Structure 1
């Protein structure tokens, strides 16, 4: 789920936000945007166009190094964005494929590796987005962020958790309700 990726990004930056609370806002903005950004390729070639599970490591490390050497709101937000986007892309290999009904296991394509020029196979540890284990993971990843962030970030996390749980309850039914919307596939 997109919310799981957002919560993973927030959990990633939560220790830094705890140690440097003056950067918590920029870190949260960067982590939330970075957790969502790779999925902006849905209208294109999903999990290929904006997903960089291997090639994204170097930019993420570079952005984190820059933020460590020159901490500011801008560098912290940039580092959070790039690191969360990389984490999103890399973790997509742990789930199912990008198709609308990934529980059918019809593809061996999880996320594209631009470095090797091939698809990484799905590990299916999280069987599909919105699976019960995805809801549990999302909830677990939200906890560190809820302990560190407050204000609008906490409200966004609680709202995201509500969306996640409802989506997980309805996920497998959604494919039947949207079957006539072939343009989604």
Structure 2
């Protein structure tokens, strides 16, 4: 679920946001954008075009290094974005495949590894996006962010939990409404 990826990113930056409160907003913004960014490829080759589970680690390391050497709102936000995008791509291997209805016809493709030039197989710890266990994970991951952030960020997190729960409730029925070109 997109919200789960966002909450992972927010949970990762929550300690830094508490330690350096003046960077909380750029960290939150970076984590949210990075948590969503890889799924821009939903209309292209999903989990291949903008998902970099291996190369992303190098980019994340460089971005965090830059933020450590030259700390600023910009470098912190960029680091949060790149780390969240990498974790999103890498963690997609823990779920099911990219198909819209994995409970009917599961694939053996989770996310593409550009280094090896091959697909990583799905581990199915989360059976599919929007599965009940995905909603539970999203809710649990939202807690550190709810504690670390305040104001509008906290309201967006609370709204995201509501969206997660509603999506999980209707997920299997949504497949009938999705246009064929999205798969």
TMscore range, shorter length: over 0.9
Partner of 2:80: 80
Report what 1:139 is aligned to.
139
2:15 aligned with 1:37: no
Q: Which residue of 1 aligns with 2:62?
A: 62
Residues 51-70 of structure 1 deviation map (CA, whole Å, 9 limit, x = unaligned)? 00011001101100111111
Is residue 154 of structure 1 aligned with residue 150 of structure 2?
no
SS of equivalent residue, structure 2 residue 150: coil
Contact 2:96 2:106 in 1 (8 A): no
- The CA deviation at 1:103 is 1.8
8 Å Cα contact 1:66-1:75 kept in structure 2: yes
Aligned CA RMSD, in angstroms, stands at 0.9
In 1, Cα distance between equivalents of 2:20 and 2:182: 42
Q: Is contact 1:96-1:105 (8 Å) kept?
A: no
The separation in 1 between residues aligned to 2:92 and 2:180, in whole angstroms, is 23
| 1:104 CA displacement | 2.6
Unaligned runs of 5+ in 1: none
Q: Matched residues in 2 for 1:17 and 1:31: separation?
A: 11
Deviation at 1:119, TM superposition (A): 0.1
Q: Which aligned runs of 4 or more in structure 1 are off by greater than 2 angstroms? A: none
List runs of 5+ in structure 2 lacking aligned partners.
Answer: none
- Once the two structures are TM-superposed, the CA of residue 105 in structure 1 deviates from its matched residue by 4.5
Residues 84-142 of structure 1: per-residue CA shift (max 9 Å, x gap): 00000000000000001012353100000000000000000000000000000000100
TM superposition score normalised by structure 2: 0.98
Within a 5 Å distance, the mapping from 1:1-16 to structure 2 comes to: 1-16=1-16
Q: How many residues align?
A: 183
Question: Residues 52 and 89 of structure 1 are in contact (CA less than 8 Å); yes or no, is this contact kept in structure 2?
Answer: yes
When the two structures are superposed, what TM-score results if normalisation uses the length of structure 1?
Answer: 0.97
Conserved? CA contact 1:109–1:120, under 8 Å: yes
Match of 1:23 in 2: 23
CA distance in 2, matches of 1:82, 1:182: 31
